[in-house]
Amino acid sequence: MIYLAQPYSSPDPLIKHQRYIEAMKVTSAILISGQTIYSPIVHCHPMASYLIMPTDHNFWLYHDKEILKHCDSMAILFLDGWEQSRGLKEEIEFARKNSIDFFEIDYVHSTRVLFSNIHPGNILKQFTI
């Protein structure tokens, strides 16, 4: 199973929603390709948007790590603001420490998603809907 890691938190609810949309695009493309993926953003954004849920970083990171430790790989979606994302950095570090393979998502446009290895120039797989 692939775990989708990306920045999410922002004081601007429109940015959070756009990050959710991008996560849905990637999750959809990978599911349609026949691979299993888990996105904590796709799974939890609607719930967190409509219900009273904790906003504490440690609450979400605990649950994310519980899922991540059952995954074979992690896809990293480097959206704007990723450099400030504490959660994304901690997920990457967790993957490294637990020998979980990870790769970067280079391109998201409409329904086409291009993946490459974390090392530049190494195409891992392309999913097209």
pLDDT of residue 110: 45
* % pLDDT > 90, the chain: 22
Count of domains forming the chain: 1
Report the Cα–Cα distance between both ends of the chain, in Å, rounded. Answer: 19
Q: Kindly report the average pLDDT of the chain as a whole number.
A: 79
Q: What is the CATH number of the domain that holds 47?
A: 3.40.50.10400
Question: Which pLDDT band holds residue 107 (cuts at 50, 70, 90)?
Answer: low
SS3 55: coil
Question: Which pLDDT band holds residue 121 (cuts at 50, 70, 90)?
Answer: very low
SS3 44: helix
pLDDT of residue 11: 87
Distance CA 125, CA 115 (A): 6
Cβ neighbours for 129, distance < 8 A, ≥ 6 positions apart: 28, 29, 32, 111, 112
Residue-number span of the structural domain to which 40 is assigned: 2-128
Mean pLDDT, to the nearest integer, of 48-57?
77
Tens digit of each residue's pLDDT (9 = 90 or more) over 27-52:
988 888 888 999 999 988 777 778 77
